[in-house]
């Protein structure tokens, strides 16, 4: 009994902290309409800042808390809203997501620079060592503090939203933004307030959580996934349901540790938020297809089939010529870039054309490499498995979320990637160990030769690129773009919205998996580190920066991504800066949505127009849009 | 000479590349009801949105109380005394009646208690339902709640967008009686209706807007003669 | 062809549709008119499956489709346009139409070449010259024609048109009327919501008038025009008195 009570207490404490962060998330999302993927990162920065003030600089605890919770966090939230989020209102999910992910990556980069992970930092618990005994149960003051704080916050939030004019105004803006403005409330100021409030709750959760766990940048940032899962129980809208979800998660978590056998705990515990999230998603009702949205994207022109084949051939020849000049190390880096470029094609298909966002693309890559490694050394069967396994996984995820808004796919894939990180890859590939992955075999060609393999990768990318572009010009490509523009219109012309989304997600996962097999073959082996969630996010950010609507954008982004580790080796310390740069780059997408590839396509059109006689010039520019 | 509460001079506006209003001029003096009629898609609601700052004019002038206000934000114009009741129901459906009223305090700098008291005296039915979510009120009650905002803040200009939409004729007649008495308090009122002679019955001036242009303006009687052909075709 | 039987829809406290019944025979052109907010677009949403009625049935070709999702109904030969324009704004005019023709081929049998269908349809509605244009630069009137063309490309047997004529000038609306009559003579049934009364009176064989979510009158155009309830709904409560 005492064990049960003790476990329940721990669960309650953790659940309270999840509830705080989840409520912040919900308040910000419902009021401003922009989902903040950097919510956890804000909490992380707050926890570190609190450590810096109280432990690092030895300020009194109360002052440190005051500075973090009432000065830094609200200011940060308000600033983020003003600078990053405001240009995003009404933007499609693909854009808002990338911008807040950019913020997440930037904050991680920043934190790594400010608080290098080489030192261990410990935050003492509040009222360290002081406890009371309640009916044989030892309760620390720290635990009481957490529970009381959470309860106070809940009560305060409730009366804030029903009693104060500002709180009512926040709900009013959710109801009808235009009318709120007519009643003299500035909706942007209200949204800004919601960001300040959200950031404060994130910071509070971070500060309360940090003493209970190790002060770890990534760990604290990703704990927010628990918050997402809880918020999902409240359908990202209802605070009371969100709180119950959070408490349930905390309690389950704690009881699992206490009662389940060790092996099961190791697998289940990290996957708990994912299960909760998927479970909650299954209960969500099919969303109505709303008419009345005019969100078109100015896509760069798709080159003709002949032109794309010509460019692809030229690309392969160039790759062959270049490969002769490269050192073994550079061949590996270049090959890495080519494989990644191929993988990014799967994002061009899914996110660029289809407008869907997957945050677990590298998980699919990892599944592909895993299948290739486990099934017959380089045989066609292995390649088949490398496509089939991730494709089937993708289809499964899609089945649960395709009826819902794009945001849910992003959240589901994020939770999936995180769970796979912890449960699957670390185990299936062997702890820290490597899974050997053979190169595919082609009759008469020795792919063991690095240069030959490099050229093969160039060929694969070129073929993939031509294929993706051809698809875009064909019926399915048109359907994808149409679906992204107006699901309601698509449905009323006989297109099944869910099936189309399912197909594109499956295809994209399969493509990524094939990339995984080739990726494994490049290095001969893969390790769990290759597929961590953070890298998936980085991949998506870079792909978006490169320009999701163009194949050339994917190539540029991939090369940049491949150069990361190289630069990092040569100039240690640059690694965090590159995180920061990528993040900052992504932030700029709020203003220019087409990335570098889009700019290039634009430039190309301009040059073509310039070479043509004046009469044709106008026409081309017009067609280019 | 009295200064017009609202004046539009050769005003153009639209959404993106699509121009909806192609040079509209209209004056609404204080204590006057002006009815703006016209078929669907003529640009009537857009005109009200421009007048209340929700849509920015692309050319021409917008004057409120004689002051040039092109480009002012909706919340600023609200503080300057422009009050628009949007098409549909100008209420927050997921807020209670009392909370809706509390939202209205933002414009007139009134205390919540004062607002509730004044409203419930005028509309006792709303008082009975103060704790009810506004979305669950009947259509007429919702429109009363919407109108209560206008009545609280003593606006200079009141813009009413299709307040009769989806309401039974008796309720509409009541609402227009209210409009008439509000105008008598010195407020300039611009009423937009697609149909409804009820609007003309209380109007001092009227105009017909078709395809973004005012095709006829004058006394209600003059305008009325041309109504039927504008809507139901020649031989009504 | 289409039967709507006692459909009820409520939004919060507002009854959007109350006990609405109407039918459209195959090959007929039926008009649906009524003041703003009367529930015309809601009825279209119910028929096409974007909105679930609280009560009542939608029967298409003798089959109860009330529980079918929108795309399944479309495959039974139901096409529509939207009042608030829903074109694919990233695609060219031609690709908008082509996407629909291709969708039709993906679920139909023995379909002709989508490219040819697209060309024919664009020709028919008079958009052939604009085929290569991006749609986001077009005027509202033209966008409505793009919607009509797109709906036609899936070759529906019943077409619901939600204000196809608003934003068109005199000649364009004239041409639209001729197109509608053409379609009907080809055997397409049309349910038309339109505020351009000239157009409605010219082309429709039958009219239903919707007001406060109820059908208040049905009949031929001239019957409806004389109907006192319709005059009241359109012109205000005392219309009959004023205009007698």
Burial of A311: CB neighbours in 10 Å, binned 0-12, 13-18, 19+: middle
CA angle A200, A206, A212 (to 5 degrees): 150
Q: What was the pLDDT predicted at A251?
A: 94
CA torsion sign for B135, B141, B147, B152 is negative
Pick C198's closest partner by Cβ from B136, B196, B233: B233
pLDDT tens readout for residues A527-582: 888 888 888 888 888 888 887 778 888 888 888 888 777 777 777 666 666 677 77
- Please provide the DSSP assignment of A352-375 as one string: IIT----S-HHHHHHHHHHHHHHS
In a domain, A583, yes or no: no
Q: Output the pLDDT for position A576.
A: 65
Subunits that touch chain A (at least 3 Cβ pairs < 8 angstroms)?
B, C
Tokens 């049905």: give the residue.
C218
Is the residue at A614 inside a domain?
no
Q: What's the confidence (pLDDT) of residue A227? A: 87
Note whether B90 contacts A: Cβ–Cβ < 8 A: yes
DSSP for residue A530:
G
User: pLDDT band at A277, cuts 50/70/90?
Assistant: confident
Mutate to test the interface with B, among A162, A178, A179 (most CBs of B within 10 A): A179
List the Cα angle C15/C17/C23 in 5-degree steps.
Answer: 170
Same domain, A518 and A454: yes
A451, pLDDT greater than 50: yes
Q: Please report the pLDDT score of residue A191 as a whole number.
A: 92
Q: What is the mean pLDDT of residues C144-148?
A: 92
Q: Is the pLDDT at A158 greater than 60, yes or no? A: yes
Q: What is the DSSP string of A314-325?
A: HHHHHHHHHHHH
- Chain B residues in contact with A175 by the CB 8 A cut-off are 92-95
Separation of alpha carbons A45 and C2, rounded Å: 61
Can you give the pLDDT at residue A252? Answer: 92
Give the three-class secondary structure for C215.
strand
Report the interhelical angle of A224-233 vs A39-51 (nearest 10°). Answer: 140
- pLDDT above 50 for B225: yes
pLDDT tens sequence across C203-216: 999 999 888 788 88
Q: Are B52 and B75 in contact (CB under 8 A)?
A: no
Contact A440, A378 (CB under 8 A): yes
Q: What are phi and psi of C122, to 5 degrees?
A: -60, -40
Q: Please give, rounded to a whole number of angstroms, the shortest distance from the CA of C106 to a CA of chain A.
A: 9
Is residue C239 scored above 60 in pLDDT?
A: no
pLDDT at A290: 60
Helix (H, G, I), strand (E, B) or coil at C214: strand
Distance spanning both ends of chain B, measured CA to CA: 41
Q: What is the reported pLDDT for A236? A: 86
Average pLDDT over residues C47-73: 93
Per-residue confidence at C49, pLDDT binned at 50, 70, 90? very high
pLDDT of residue A297: 57
Q: How would you classify the pairing of strands A525-526 and B205-210?
A: unpaired
B112, B198, B201, B101: which is closest to B151 by C-alpha?
B101
Compute the average pLDDT of residues B202-216. 88
CA distance B49 to B54: 5
pLDDT at B234 > cutoff 60: no
Instruction: Determine if residue B31 is left, alpha or beta; phi over 0 gives left, psi from -120 to 50 gives alpha, anything else beta.
Output: left
Instruction: Assess if residue A350 is contained within a domain.
Output: yes
Confidence of residue C12 (pLDDT cuts 50, 70, 90): low
Percentage, residues of chain C above pLDDT 70: 92
Q: What SS3 state is found at A399? A: helix
| Confidence category of residue A293, pLDDT binned at 50, 70, 90 | very low
Laid out side by side, the sheet with C14-24 consists of: C14-24, C2-11, C55-60, C63-64
What residues does C79 pair with on adjacent strands? C159
The lowest-confidence range among A65-74, A376-385, A447-456 is: A376-385
| Residue A289 pLDDT level (bands cut at 50, 70, 90) | low
Q: Which residues does A424 contact at the CB level (< 8 Å), separation at least 6?
A: none
Question: Domain with A101 in it: what CATH number?
Answer: 1.10.3470
Residue C118 has pLDDT above 60, yes or no: yes
Q: Greatest CA separation found in chain A?
A: 91
A264 and A321 together in one domain: no
Report pLDDT for C44.
94
- C-alpha to C-alpha distances, A190 to A92, B54, C92, nearest whole angstrom: 21, 17, 39
> If you average pLDDT over every residue of chain C, what do you get?
86
Query: What is the mean predicted confidence (pLDDT) over C116-128?
Result: 93
C-alpha distances out from residue B10 to A347, B13, B22, B57, B213, Å:
50, 10, 8, 10, 10
The pLDDT assigned to A401 comes to: 85
Two structure tokens written together for C128: 């052939």
Which phi and psi (to 5°) does residue A115 adopt?
Answer: -125, 75
User: First and final CA of chain C: distance in angstroms?
Assistant: 39
Q: How many residues does chain C have?
A: 244
Distance between A175 CA and the closest CA of chain B, angstroms: 6
Instruction: Let me know whether A274 and A316 are in one domain.
Output: no
Among B70, B33, B4, smallest CA distance to B176 is for B33
Per-residue pLDDT at A572: 65
Residue that terminates a domain, selected from A492, A511, A543: A543
Residue B88 at interface with chain A, using a CB cutoff of 8 Å? no
- Contacts for B149 with CB less than 8 Å, ≥ 6 apart: A183, B83, B85, B90, B104, B107
A479: closest CA of chain C, how far (Å) = 6
Nearest alpha carbon to residue C43 among C87, C7, C79, C70 = C7
Q: What pLDDT sits at residue A573? A: 63
The chain-wide mean pLDDT, for chain A, equals 85
In tens, the pLDDT along A193-233 reads 999 999 999 999 999 999 988 888 888 888 778 888 899 88
Q: What's the token pair of residue B58? A: 């692309």
Q: Chains near B, with 3+ CB pairs < 8 A?
A: A, C
Whether A491 and A531 map to the same domain: the answer is yes
With pLDDT > 70 as the criterion, what percentage of chain A qualifies? 89
A301-327: average pLDDT: 90
Both A321 and A270 in one domain: the answer is no
Pick the residue of C9, C10, C13 with the most B CBs within 10 A to test the interface with B by mutation: C13
Q: What is the mean pLDDT of residues C214-243?
A: 69
Q: In whole angstroms, give the CA distance from residue A296 to residue A545.
A: 19
DSSP label at C210? Answer: E
Domain match, A333 and A426 both: yes
Residue A35 sits in the same domain as residue A84? yes
pLDDT at A620: 39
Q: Which two tokens stand for residue C238?
A: 């005392």
Residue A325, Cβ neighbours under 10 Å: how many? 8
ipTM, 2 decimals? 0.91
Find, among C109, C113, C132, the residue nearest to C122 by Cα: C132
> In residues, how long is chain A?
625
Using an 8 Å CB-CB cutoff, list residues of chain A that contact chain B: 162, 165, 168-169, 171-172, 174-176, 178-186
If you average pLDDT over residues A160-164, what whole number do you get? 90
**Is residue A385 in some structural domain?**
yes
Which of A65-74, A174-183, B62-71 ranks highest by mean pLDDT? A65-74
If DSSP codes are grouped into helix, strand and coil, which group holds residue C8? strand
In a domain, A298, yes or no: no
Q: Is the pLDDT of residue A513 over 90?
A: yes
β A131-134/A137-140 pair status: antiparallel
pLDDT confidence bin for B67, thresholds 50/70/90: confident
Which is higher by pLDDT, B152 or C157? C157
Q: Are residues A160 and A94 in the same domain?
A: yes
pLDDT higher than threshold 60 for residue B168: yes
Return the ∠ at Cα B88 (arms to B87 and B94), rounded to 5°: 125
Identify the domain containing residue A23 by its residue range. 2-115+135-283
Average pLDDT over residues C140-155: 91
Judgement on whether residues A372 and A432 belong to the same structural domain of the protein: yes
What are the residues whose beta carbons fall under 8 Å from the beta carbon of A549, sequence distance 6 or more?
A297, A299, A300, A348, A352, A353, A594, A595, A597, A598
Angle, helices A595-611 vs A551-570, to 10°: value is 130
Would you say residue A577 lies in a domain? no
Residue B64 pairs in a beta bridge with B6, B67
- Judge contact between C135 and C146, C-beta under 8 A: yes
Shortest distance between the Cα of B84 and any Cα of chain A, in A, equals 7
A347, A224: one domain: no
Q: Residue B24 above 50 pLDDT?
A: yes
Residue contact A495–C103, C-beta within 8 A: yes
The predicted model gives A445-464 an average pLDDT of 92
Mapping DSSP to helix (H, G, I), strand (E, B) and coil, where does residue A592 land? coil
pLDDT of A274 > 80? The answer is yes
pLDDT for the residue numbered A27: 93
Residue C55 backbone dihedrals phi, psi, to 5 degrees: -150, 155
The pLDDT of residue B15? 78
In this predicted structure, the answer to whether residue A612 has a pLDDT above a threshold of 50 is no
Our CA-based measurement puts residue A64 at a distance from the nearest CA of chain C, in whole angstroms, of 48
DSSP B167: -
Among A617, A619, A623, smallest CA distance to A601 is for A623
Which range, of A188-202, A232-246, A581-595, averages the lowest pLDDT?
Answer: A581-595
Q: Which residue has the higher pLDDT, B65 or B138?
A: B65
For helices A406-420 and A262-283, what crossing angle results, to 10°?
180
Q: Structural domain tally of chain A?
A: 2
Least confident span in A139-148, A171-180, A236-245, A509-518: A171-180
Domain match, A367 and A405 both:
yes
More confidently predicted of A531 and A289: A531
Q: Could you report the per-residue pLDDT of A385-404, keeping only the tens digit for each?
A: 999 999 999 999 999 888 88
Residue A622's pLDDT is: 42
> Is A285 an 8 Å CB contact of chain C?
no
Query: Nearest 5 degrees, angle CA A81-CA A85-CA A86?
Result: 85
Percent of chain A topping pLDDT 90? 40
Do B29 and B5 meet the contact criterion of CB atoms below 8 Å apart?
yes
A and B: number of Cβ contacts within 8 A? 65
Closest CA to C191 of C74, C63, C40: C40
Helix (H) or strand (E) holding A535: helix A533-546
Residues A264 and A328 in one domain: no
């998330």: which residue's tokens?
A: A25
Domain locations along chain B: 1-77+158-236, 82-154
Over residues B66-86, the mean pLDDT reads 85
Chain C residues at the A interface, defined by Cβ less than 8 Å, are 45, 48-51, 69-71, 74-75, 78-80, 82, 84-91, 95-96, 98-100, 102-107, 114, 132, 134-136, 147, 150-151, 153-154
> pLDDT at position A507, please?
96
CATH of region B1-77+158-236: 3.40.50.300
């Amino acid at each position: 009994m005492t064990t049960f009570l003790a476990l329940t207490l721990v669960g309650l404490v953790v659940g309270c902290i999840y509830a705080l962060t989840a409520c912040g998330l919900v308040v910000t999302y419902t009021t401003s309409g922009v989902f903040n993927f950097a919510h956890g990162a804000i909490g992380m920065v707050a926890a570190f800042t609190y450590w810096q003030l109280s432990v690092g600089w030895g300020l009194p605890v109360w002052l440190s808390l005051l500075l973090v919770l009432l000065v830094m966090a609200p200011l940060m939230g308000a600033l983020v809203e003003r600078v990053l989020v405001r240009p995003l209102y009404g933007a499609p999910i693909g854009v808002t997501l990338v911008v807040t992910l950019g913020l997440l990556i930037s904050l991680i980069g920043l934190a790594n620079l400010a608080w290098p992970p080489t030192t261990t930092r410990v935050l003492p618990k509040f009222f360290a060592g002081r406890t009371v005994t309640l009916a044989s149960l030892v309760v620390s003051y720290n635990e009481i503090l957490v529970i009381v704080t959470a309860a106070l916050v809940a009560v305060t939030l409730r009366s804030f939203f029903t009693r104060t004019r500002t709180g009512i105004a926040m709900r009013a803006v959710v109801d009808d933004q235009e009318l709120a403005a007519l009643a003299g409330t500035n909706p942007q100021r209200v949204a800004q307030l919601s960001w300040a409030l959200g950031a404060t709750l994130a910071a509070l959760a971070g500060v309360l959580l940090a003493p209970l766990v190790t002060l770890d940048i990534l760990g604290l940032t990703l704990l927010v996934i628990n918050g997402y899962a809880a918020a999902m129980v409240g359908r990202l809208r209802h605070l009371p349901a969100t709180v119950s979800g959070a408490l349930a998660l905390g309690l389950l978590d704690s009881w699992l540790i206490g009662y389940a056998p060790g092996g099961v705990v190791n697998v289940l515990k990290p996957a708990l938020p994912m299960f909760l999230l998927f479970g909650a998603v299954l209960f969500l009702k099919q969303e109505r297809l709303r008419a009345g949205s005019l969100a078109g994207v100015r896509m760069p022109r798709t080159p003709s089939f002949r032109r794309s084949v010509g460019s692809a051939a030229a690309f392969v020849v160039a790759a062959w010529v270049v490969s002769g000049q490269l050192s073994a190390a550079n061949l590996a880096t270049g090959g890495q870039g080519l494989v990644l470029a191929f993988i990014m094609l799967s994002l061009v298909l899914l996110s660029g054309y289809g407008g869907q966002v997957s945050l677990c693309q590298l998980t699919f890559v990892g599944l592909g490499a895993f299948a290739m490694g486990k099934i017959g050394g380089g045989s066609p069967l292995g390649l088949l498995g490398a496509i089939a396994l991730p494709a089937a996984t993708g289809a499964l995820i899609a089945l649960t979320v395709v009826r819902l808004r794009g945001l849910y796919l992003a959240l589901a894939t994020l939770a999936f990637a995180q769970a796979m990180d912890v449960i699957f890859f670390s185990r299936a590939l062997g702890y820290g160990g490597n899974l050997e992955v053979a190169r595919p075999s082609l009759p008469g060609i020795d792919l063991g030769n690095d240069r030959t393999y490099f050229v093969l990768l160039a060929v694969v990318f070129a073929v993939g690129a031509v294929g993706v572009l051809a698809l875009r010009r064909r019926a399915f490509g048109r359907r994808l773009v149409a679906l992204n523009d107006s699901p309601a219109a698509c449905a009323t012309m006989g297109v099944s919205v869910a099936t189309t989304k399912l197909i594109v997600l499956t295809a994209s996962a399969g493509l990524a998996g094939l990339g995984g097999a080739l990726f494994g073959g490049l290095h001969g082996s893969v390790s769990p580190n290759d597929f961590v969630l953070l890298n998936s996010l980085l991949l998506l950010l870079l792909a978006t920066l490169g320009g999701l609507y163009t194949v050339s954008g994917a190539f540029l982004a991939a090369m940049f991504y491949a150069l990361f580790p190289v630069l990092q080796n040569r100039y240690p310390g640059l690694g965090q800066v590159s995180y920061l740069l990528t993040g900052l780059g992504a932030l700029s997408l709020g203003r220019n949505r087409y990335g570098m590839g889009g700019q290039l396509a634009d430039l190309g059109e301009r040059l073509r127009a310039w070479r043509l006689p004046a009469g044709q010039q106008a026409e081309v520019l017009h067609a280019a849009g | 000479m009295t200064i017009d509460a609202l004046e539009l001079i050769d005003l153009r506006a639209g959404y993106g590349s699509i121009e909806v209003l192609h040079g509209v001029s209209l004056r609404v003096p204080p204590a006057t009801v002006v009815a703006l009629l016209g078929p669907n898609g003529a640009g009537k609601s857009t005109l009200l949105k421009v007048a209340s700052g929700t849509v920015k004019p692309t050319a021409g002038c917008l004057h409120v109380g004689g002051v040039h206000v092109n480009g002012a934000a909706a919340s600023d114009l609200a503080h300057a005394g422009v009050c628009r009741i949007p098409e549909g129901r100008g209420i927050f459906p997921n807020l209670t009646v009392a909370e809706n009223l509390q939202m209205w305090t933002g414009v007139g700098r009134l205390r919540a208690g004062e607002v509730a008291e004044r409203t419930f005296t005028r509309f006792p039915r709303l008082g009975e339902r103060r704790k009810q979510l506004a979305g669950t009120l009947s259509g007429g009650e919702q429109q009363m709640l919407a109108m209560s905002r206008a009545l609280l803040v003593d606006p200079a200009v009141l813009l009413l967008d299709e307040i009769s939409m989806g309401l039974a004729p008796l309720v509409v007649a009541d609402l227009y009686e209210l409009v008439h008495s509000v105008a008598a308090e010195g407020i300039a009122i611009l009423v937009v209706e697609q149909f409804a002679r009820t609007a003309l019955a209380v109007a001092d001036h009227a105009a017909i807007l078709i395809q973004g242009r005012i095709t006829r303006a004058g006394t209600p009687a003059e305008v009325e003669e041309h109504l039927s052909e504008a809507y139901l075709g020649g031989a009504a | 062809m289409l039967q709507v039987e006692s459909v009820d829809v409520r939004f919060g406290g507002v009854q959007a549709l109350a006990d609405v019944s109407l039918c459209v025979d195959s090959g007929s052109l039926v008009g649906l008119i009524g003041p703003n907010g009367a529930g015309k677009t809601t009825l279209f949403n119910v028929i096409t499956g974007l909105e679930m009625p609280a009560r009542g049935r939608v029967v298409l070709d003798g089959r109860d489709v009330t529980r079918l999702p929108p795309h399944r109904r479309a495959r039974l030969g139901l096409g529509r346009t939207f009042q608030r324009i829903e074109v694919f704004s990233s695609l060219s005019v031609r690709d908008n139409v082509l996407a629909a023709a291709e969708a039709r081929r993906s679920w139909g049998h023995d379909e002709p070449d989508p490219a040819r269908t697209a060309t024919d349809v664009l020709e028919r509605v008079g958009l052939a010259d604009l085929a290569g244009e991006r749609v986001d630069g077009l005027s509202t009137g033209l966008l409505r024609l793009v919607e009509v063309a797109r709906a036609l490309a899936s070759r529906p047997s019943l077409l619901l048109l939600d204000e196809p004529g608003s934003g068109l000038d005199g000649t364009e609306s004239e041409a639209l009327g001729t197109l509608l009559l053409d379609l009907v003579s080809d055997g397409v049934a049309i349910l038309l919501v339109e505020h351009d009364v000239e157009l409605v009176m010219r082309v429709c064989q039958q009219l239903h008038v919707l007001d406060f979510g109820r059908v208040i009158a049905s009949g031929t155009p001239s019957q409806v025009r004389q109907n006192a309830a319709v005059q009241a709904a359109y012109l205000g409560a005392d219309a009959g008195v004023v205009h007698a």
